[in-house]
Amino acid sequence: MKKFKFILIMCSVLSLSVCLLTGCTNNEVKEEKQEEKTVAITLGKQFESEIKNEKDIEKVAKKIAENEVLKISVDVSQIKKGDYISGFQKEIKDFKNAYVIRPMIGTIPFVAYIFEVENASDFAEELKSNADLRWNICTEADEMHAIVSGDYVFFIMSPKNFEQEE
């Protein structure tokens, strides 16, 4: 009878341990999946998909601006040579063509660019090394990403999401 109780207790402890371990693993997977759904990652994936079929970066920028993850009103504008490009510690130049996706309200820490350049990998590295997540005085972006596809660079600085904290 004592052996039976001992085996029963051991089985219970093992079952509980397995449940706890499985629960921790599931939480880690949920956090990983949630991380993948940030604004920057979502829009970056959309850029990669759109640029494969459409080389007109104005059209790509407008499609990205319509993404439901952007719970803000945004504007899509062409950047001309000599225009100020916000979010960087030095002047960004040497691009063939560029568009910006930015919020209508300037205090929201979001900005995304699509650049057409000659050496996209080097250009993306220049953007990352000169980016300033706190380009707005009162706000700061949570993350930045640079995605390179052929002669195009999609660069974004944004909050992880636009959900209201309660």
Query: What is the mean pLDDT, run by run of 10 residues, along the chain of 166 residues?
Result: 53 50 48 67 96 96 96 94 90 94 90 96 96 86 96 96 64
Residue 166 is predicted with a pLDDT of 34
What pLDDT shows up at residue 36? 65
- Under 8 Å between Cβ of 124 and 146: yes
User: Which stretches does DSSP call E strand in 9-142?
Assistant: 74-78, 97-103, 111-116
Tokens of 92: 């960004």
pLDDT of residue 34: 47
The reported pLDDT for the residue numbered 9 is 58
CA 42 – CA 161 distance, rounded (Å): 10
Which pLDDT value is given to residue 147? Answer: 97
Amino acid at 162: F
Burial environment of residue 149 by CB neighbours within 10 A (0 to 12, 13 to 18, 19 or more): middle
Model-level pTM?
0.77
The token pair at 154 is: 């999609």
- The tokens describing 149, both together, are 């596809």
Q: Which residues pair with 158 in a beta bridge?
A: 143
